Amino acid sequence: MTPATSTPRPKPVPRPTDSTRPYWDAAARGELWIQRSVTTGTYVFYPRTVSPFGAGDELEWVRVSGLATLDSYVINHRPAPGFEAPHVIAIVKLEEGPRMLSTVVGVDPVPEQLVLDMPLRVDFEPRGDMSLPVFRPAEEGEAL
């Protein structure tokens, strides 16, 4: 009996909805866009159809800097479909304030290299016909 060979599974691809389409369209252009309250100027993330700041408030889509800091992370040692282990799953705090779940790339997945509050910048990983925001260490001189 010969061992079964398996074809590696691709990474999952998100399915945009009406409320998330502007986010994914921007990512496809290599830009990070999130929503901001028209009334308060406060940025919000995750994409939503209703403002968390009150019924009279509206949300607008705006391009943000793509700069962030590492807020928290876990090093995943169990390979998920399409991912190689270990990889870093992180909560990053955008320069504009909101936190988002993402992946940190371009750094060894070891605690010594993943310093909390380290400066990060957005990058985009092609996946199928889409691009997903990921974060990598910021270059020297990139301001936060």
pLDDT per residue as tens digits for the range 28-41: 999 999 999 999 99
Task: Give the span between the Cα atoms of 83 and 68, in whole angstroms.
Answer: 23
Q: What is the DSSP letter of 19?
A: T
Q: Residue range 118-136: average pLDDT?
A: 95
pLDDT band at 22 (very low <50, low <70, confident <90, very high): very high
Write out the two tokens for 144.
Answer: 């936060």
End-to-end CA distance of the chain: 58
pTM for the whole structure: 0.88
Task: Give the span between the Cα atoms of 14 and 24, in whole angstroms.
Answer: 9
Task: Give the span between the Cα atoms of 132 and 16, in whole angstroms.
Answer: 12
pLDDT band at 68 (very low <50, low <70, confident <90, very high): very high
